[in-house]
Amino acid sequence: MRLSIPAGEIAGYLARQLSNFFPDGELTAADCRRSVDGALERLEHCLVRVKDKYLPAGAQPYFNHRHTDHYAMLLYLVGNTAMRLGEPGALCEKTYALNKALHAIDAFYEIELPEVFFFQHPVGTVLGRARYGNFFVVYQRCTVGAKDRVYPTIGEGVVMYGGSAIIGDCTVGRNVWLGAGTVVMGEDIPDDSAVFAQSPHLVVKSTSRSVFDSFFQSR
């Protein structure tokens, strides 16, 4: 994957941001480097599969640290990777908080997003501790959360358009489109569906349109 600046400079850039935003103890590039390297590797696994209007199909993916959707994805991955590596909690916590401050997205470092996901201007989005299937796409003001401490299960190839929500004890199938403002709460959604309106008055229509073909160039 091509990078806008070298990986070591990305680690230093992040360390300076974290130290400036949260001046309760300085983090260095060395403190961040392992987690940044691991996060970039995982991000490449996402971006190589995403259809990007700025990147021709089959071209080498490109990470731009000033592209806010790219950077929001990276910050989630840095925090989650740091947790997996057993790095100090400050790195996990501060990276998560920085993502909220910069991009207004709440994606806690302990949640496990799938191997392939894509943020599309995700301002105001909250992603809780659901089970997420691969090829997950999320836009702005989306919510994935619990009801009575029960979280949903989300299948492969689900796209959440602006203002949509998946809440509580429900299973969303494979290749599902949630229209803008749709709220699924405690209802199961079958595969190959387009969903509109709000529970308990959902409108669920069968669709042949493919999330995979629309947003991704390989599986």
Task: Check residue 95 and give its pLDDT.
Answer: 98
Task: Check residue 54 and give its pLDDT.
Answer: 61
Q: How far apart are CA 76 and CA 109, in angstroms?
A: 6
pLDDT string in tens for the chain (219-residue length):
999 999 999 999 999 999 999 999 899 999 999 999 999 999 999 999 998 766 555 578 889 999 999 999 999 999 999 999 999 899 999 999 999 999 999 999 999 999 999 999 999 999 999 999 999 999 999 999 999 999 999 999 999 999 999 999 999 999 999 999 999 999 999 999 999 999 999 999 999 999 999 999 876
- 117-213 maps to CATH 2.40.50.100: no
Q: What is the pTM of this model?
A: 0.96
Task: Check residue 217 and give its pLDDT.
Answer: 86
**Distance linking the first and last C-alpha atoms of the chain:** 17
**Size of the chain in residues:** 219
Under 8 Å CB-to-CB from 101, ≥6 apart: which residues?
21
Instruction: Please give the distance of CA 50 from its chain centroid, rounded to a whole number.
Output: 13
User: Which two tokens mark 191?
Assistant: 């595969």
Domain boundaries of the chain, sorted by first residue: 2-104, 117-213
Task: Check residue 9 and give its pLDDT.
Answer: 98
Task: Check residue 60 and give its pLDDT.
Answer: 81
Total Cβ atoms within 10 A of residue 41 = 13
Q: How far is CA 166 from CA 90, 129, 144, 157, in A?
A: 30, 12, 5, 15
Task: Check residue 51 and give its pLDDT.
Answer: 86
Strand extents, DSSP E, the chain: 2-3, 62-63, 106-107, 117-119, 126-127, 131-132, 136-138, 143-145, 153-154, 158-160, 165-167, 171-172, 176-178, 183-185, 193-196, 203-206
